[in-house]
Amino acid sequence: MQKSNRDVWVGLFVMIGAAAILFLALKAGNLLSLSFEDTYSVSARFDNIGGLKPRAPVKSAGVVVGRVAAIGFDTQTYQARVDINLEKRFTFPKDSSAKILTSGLLGEQYVGLEPGADEKNLVAGDAIKSTQSAVVLENLIGQFLYNKAADAGSTEGGKK
Amino acid sequence: MSWWRPSDVGFATRVKLDDIGRAARLFTRLCALFLAALRRARLLVDQVHFLGNHSLAIITVSGLFVGFVLGLQGYYTLQRYGSAEALGLLVALSLVRELGPVVTALLFAGRAGTSLTAEIGLMKAGEQLAAMEMMAVDPVQRVLAPRFWGGVVAMPLLAAVFSAVGILGGWLVGVVLIGVDSGSFWSQMQNGVDVFKDVGNGVVKSLVFGFTVTFVALLQGYECQPTPEGVSRATTRTVVIASLAVLGLDFVLTAMMFSV
């Protein structure tokens, strides 16, 4: 009697522990977003991916439609090659364009997919042709300063 | 006090090496007895009950309060930078990666490790272990192995409970009390916490700590002077050595797991 009682408590303890691990995996981690749905893989080349990481979401109209599978460097074109897994149930026209965007001001970066107008759809192995790089803050500031200097130069030139 | 003679240094070194050798041999024996411990499941279950169930209360309460404090302090710091929504991420990551395994191991050393050392030490002082050997019962297999594997089983479960309860505590303070948006609390957490890199490595960590703490406790009990004073000193040493080992190992493991 005493013994079997103890077994129940140990079983309960193990169940609580397993439930805690499950809670951490499901609620705190992103196991649910590890989708087990069939995907097809397309690739895109970007001049600059900024801080994009593998497993970053791919969104279209704000809805997650896939994930970044891998990021590599193409030594032929000196561009970043991003492999994207899109879920099978979402199809996109062949001339869709991909952008690297940032959620919020300092949030994580993701790939935004904008559907084009082609009648044919993207299939596995296709490459997305039109891409837009991530906005790099340093370049932006550099450009701003350059424009400022150019403005100042032109007004001074006008005065003369 | 006289000068150290070379022979003294040599003797001290030999004694230390001897200790390390015996510890390593005990460790490999305990590891090799995994199947034997499984076969005598009754003993193992008793130990999981003793080490795990009885530690559950202190682990849960500590986890809750650590979560509370993380929620309060995290909010205080994050709201200065206008990113209080990241509170969930902060609470979850610090608990799952570091605080869960480490604090649980420290509490486990204090709550369960000491009682293991005292129990084994008293068994040794009362010559129960010697009596077992007389009856051709291997005390390492009969007494130490179930306790060792019971501790190794209990530790990751306790650490997971600690982290889970801590996250709930952080949620309670952050969302219910302070009023951080519940949706962004969870979604930021889910975006930032990786199942395998963060949760998985946390479990691996607590498993390593389970080995460490339980082994230190058993070794101190098994090797103690069989006197009341010796047992008390061994119990103290268990807490000191286990805590230091856990903190040192934590640094090494963190450097290995999260360096990239």
Query: Mind listing the pLDDT tens digit for each residue in A42-97?
Result: 889 888 888 787 778 888 888 888 888 888 998 988 989 999 888 888 888 888 88
Residue B84 forms contact with A (CB below 8 Å): no
Q: Cα–Cα–Cα angle for B6, B10, B15, nearest 5°?
A: 150
Question: What's the rounded mean pLDDT across residues B83-89?
Answer: 86
The sign of the dihedral angle between the CA atoms of A86, A92, A93, A96 is: negative
Residue B227 forms contact with A (CB below 8 Å): no
Interface of B with A in 166-185 (CB under 8 A): 167
Residue percentage of chain B with pLDDT more than 70 = 98
Neighbours of A3 (CB within 10 A): 9
Residue B89: closest C-alpha in chain A: A28
Q: Give the pLDDT band of residue A26 (cuts 50, 70, 90).
A: confident
What's the mean per-residue pLDDT of chain A? Answer: 82
Nearest CB among A10, A17, A27 relative to B45 is that of A10
Closest CA to B52 of A11, A13, A20, A21: A13
Neighbours of B1 (CB within 10 A): 3
Quote the distance between the C-alpha of residue B222 and its chain's center: 19
C-alpha–C-alpha distance, residues B68 and B166, integer Å: 7
Q: Rounded to a whole number, what is the distance in Å from the CA of B70 to chain A's nearest CA?
A: 16
**Alpha-helical regions (H) of A24-126:** none
Secondary structure of B36-85 in HEC code, one letter for each residue:
HHHHCHHHHHHHHHHHHHHHHHHHHHHHHHHHHHHHHHHHHHHHHHCCHH
Closest CA to A133 of A99, A108, A97: A99
Comparing A157 with B187, the larger pLDDT belongs to B187
Chain A contact probe: residue of B199, B203, B205, B207 with most A CBs at under 10 A: B199
Strands A57-60 and A109-114, by their bridges, are parallel
- The helix (run of H) or strand (run of E) holding residue B170 is helix B145-171
**Does residue B224 contact residue B117 with C-beta atoms inside 8 Å?**
yes
pLDDT confidence of residue B189: 85
The sign of the dihedral angle between the CA atoms of A60, A61, A65, A66 is: positive
Contacts of B124 (CB under 8 A, 6+ apart): B130, B221, B222, B224, B226
**Does residue B215 contact residue B209 with C-beta atoms inside 8 Å?**
no
- Please identify which residue in the block is written with the tokens 């360096």: B259
- A24/B56 CB distance under 8 A: no
Helix B100-108 and helix B145-171: axis angle, to 10°?
Answer: 130
Reported as a single tens digit per residue, the pLDDT across B219-232 is 999 999 999 999 99
Q: Which two tokens stand for residue B199?
A: 């949760």
| Sequence-ordered strand ranges (E) for chain A | 39-46, 57-60, 63-74, 79-87, 97-102, 109-114, 127-128, 130-132
CA distances from A151 to A147, A157, A160, B149 (A): 6, 10, 15, 74
Chain B contact probe: residue of A8, A24, A52 with most B CBs at under 10 A: A24
- The helix (run of H) or strand (run of E) holding residue B18 is helix B6-32
Neighbours of A116 (CB within 10 A): 15
Question: What's the rounded mean pLDDT across residues B178-207?
Answer: 86
C-alpha–C-alpha distance, residues A65 and A52, integer Å: 16
Strands A79-87 and A130-132, by their bridges, are unpaired
- Please identify which residue in the block is written with the tokens 């103690």: B224
End-to-end CA distance of chain A: 104
Comparing A30 with A41, the larger pLDDT belongs to A41
Residue B59: closest C-alpha in chain A: A17
Indicate the pTM of the whole model: 0.76
Nearest CB among B161, B194, B199 relative to A17 is that of B161
User: Which amino acid, A76?
Assistant: Q
C-alpha–C-alpha distance, residues B200 and A104, integer Å: 29
pLDDT confidence of residue B153: 93
Nearest CB among B42, B52, B160 relative to A20 is that of B160
Name the CA dihedral angle for B246, B252, B256, B258, rounded to a multiple of 10 degrees. 70
Comparing B166 with B179, the larger pLDDT belongs to B166
C-alpha–C-alpha distance, residues B222 and B147, integer Å: 12
Reported as a single tens digit per residue, the pLDDT across B66-80 is 999 999 999 999 988
C-alpha–C-alpha distance, residues A28 and B171, integer Å: 11
- Judged against a pLDDT cut of 60, whether residue B260 lies above it is answered with no
- Which residues of A are less than 8 Å from B197 in CB distance? none
